[in-house]
């Protein structure tokens, strides 16, 4: 059995470092063969600084996926151009920096990981994620064994529509972006493992990873406010997909919530600014 853990949106550099400090231990504890982390908010509402992204990869993530905020951290763009383990959505224009998918080896298999952005209530407006998925699968046909896609999208309807479109054609499709885990993890009729949203990695309390005060003041006054990260015990929502390698199908899904240790020093020296 090939065991793949997908971890939800990391909401701050502090949460990213706490996750990086414990991920190898998590891999051993759950007998994991592959781990992805959605890092599009790991710089706090923007993509992570390069040293935080590399800490997650050094810490035990095989691939980091992105979303609508990943390219908003300008300091990450050179890293995105050079390291295909950190993805931005594939349906960005071709001129955008970075990679929309990658193929990496794991347990003797070639694992394709793709990243797509939704178009319903999402910004920026991009090309069809359905067409982008189709193009990737056609271009890489015969060159991968397992295919995992992160669909970073707001609307559950759009996510479940893509699930119906890709069922039986990809091994796993998971949703990210809403920061709230959904209870629909399972195996679709043609063997694709699916969940509408993984949830998030960050501090308990607050509002989706941001402090209550900073969010409430925007809602109660209608005025623009500067968001601040939530504080409190750190956790990470994830789903484990158990995959039958011979049939290349998901056979079981399991939702887990990891308690993370208090943040430690970064596992990699921060880059000089």
Tell me which residue of 271, 246, 238 sits closest to 32, measured CA to CA: 238
Number of residues that bind Fe ion (CB under 5 A): 3
Is there binding between residue 196 and Fe ion (CB under 5 A)? no
Whether 121 is a known active-site residue: answer no
Segment interacting with Fe ion, rule: CB under 5 A, options 16-24, 68-76, 188-196, 226-234: 68-76
Looking at the Cβ atoms of 48 and 67, the one nearer to Fe ion is: 67
Is there binding between residue 177 and Fe ion (CB under 5 A)? yes
Residue 207: phi and psi, rounded to 5, are -125, 105
Tell me which residue of 214, 240, 269 sits closest to 30, measured CA to CA: 240
Is there binding between residue 159 and Fe ion (CB under 5 A)? no
Q: Please state, in angstroms and rounded to a whole number, the distance separating the CA atoms of residues 246 and 131.
A: 28
Q: Which of 69, 152, 177, 179 is catalytic?
A: 69
Is there binding between residue 88 and Fe ion (CB under 5 A)? no
Looking at the Cβ atoms of 68 and 171, the one nearer to Fe ion is: 68
Q: Please state, in angstroms and rounded to a whole number, the distance separating the CA atoms of residues 111 and 65.
A: 14
Looking at the Cβ atoms of 88 and 268, the one nearer to Fe ion is: 88
Is there binding between residue 68 and Fe ion (CB under 5 A)? yes
Least spacing, CB of residue 10 vs Fe ion, in Å:
11
Tokens of 219: 């809602």
Is there binding between residue 67 and Fe ion (CB under 5 A)? yes
Least spacing, CB of residue 43 vs Fe ion, in Å:
12
Segment interacting with Fe ion, rule: CB under 5 A, options 65-73, 101-109, 128-136, 156-164: 65-73
Helix (H) or strand (E) holding 129: helix 129-139
Looking at the Cβ atoms of 22 and 91, the one nearer to Fe ion is: 91
Other C-beta atoms closer than 10 Å to the C-beta of 21 total 20
3-class SS at 87?
strand
Other C-beta atoms closer than 10 Å to the C-beta of 262 total 9
Cα four-point dihedral sign 87, 91, 96, 101: positive
User: Rule CB under 5 A: which residues touch Fe ion?
Assistant: 67-68, 177
């Amino acid at each position: 059995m090939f065991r793949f853990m997908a971890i939800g949106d990391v909401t701050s550099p502090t949460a990213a470092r706490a996750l990086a400090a414990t991920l190898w231990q998590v891999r051993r504890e759950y007998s994991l063969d592959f781990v992805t982390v959605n890092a599009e908010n790991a710089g706090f509402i923007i993509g992570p600084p390069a040293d935080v992204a590399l800490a997650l990869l050094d810490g035990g993530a095989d691939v980091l996926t992105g979303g609508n905020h990943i390219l908003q951290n300008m300091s990450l763009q050179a890293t995105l151009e050079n390291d295909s383990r950190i993805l931005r959505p594939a349906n960005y224009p071709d001129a955008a920096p970075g990679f929309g998918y990658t193929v990496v080896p794991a347990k003797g298999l070639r694992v394709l990981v793709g990243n797509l952005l939704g178009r319903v209530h999402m910004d920026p407006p991009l090309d069809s994620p359905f067409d982008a998925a189709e193009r990737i699968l056609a271009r890489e046909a015969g060159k991968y064994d397992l295919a995992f896609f992160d669909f970073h999208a707001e609307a559950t309807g759009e996510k479940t529509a893509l699930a119906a479109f890709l069922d039986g054609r990809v091994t796993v499709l998971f949703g990210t972006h809403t920061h709230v885990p959904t209870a629909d993890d399972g195996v679709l009729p043609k063997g694709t493992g699916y969940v509408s949203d993984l949830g998030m990695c960050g501090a308990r309390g607050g509002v989706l990873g941001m402090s209550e005060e900073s969010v409430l003041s925007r809602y109660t006054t209608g005025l623009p406010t500067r968001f601040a990260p939530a504080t409190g015990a750190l956790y990470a929502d994830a789903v484990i997909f158990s995959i039958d390698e011979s049939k290349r199908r998901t056979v079981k899904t399991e939702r887990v919530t990891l308690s993370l240790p208090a943040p430690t020093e970064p596992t990699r020296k921060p880059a000089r600014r």
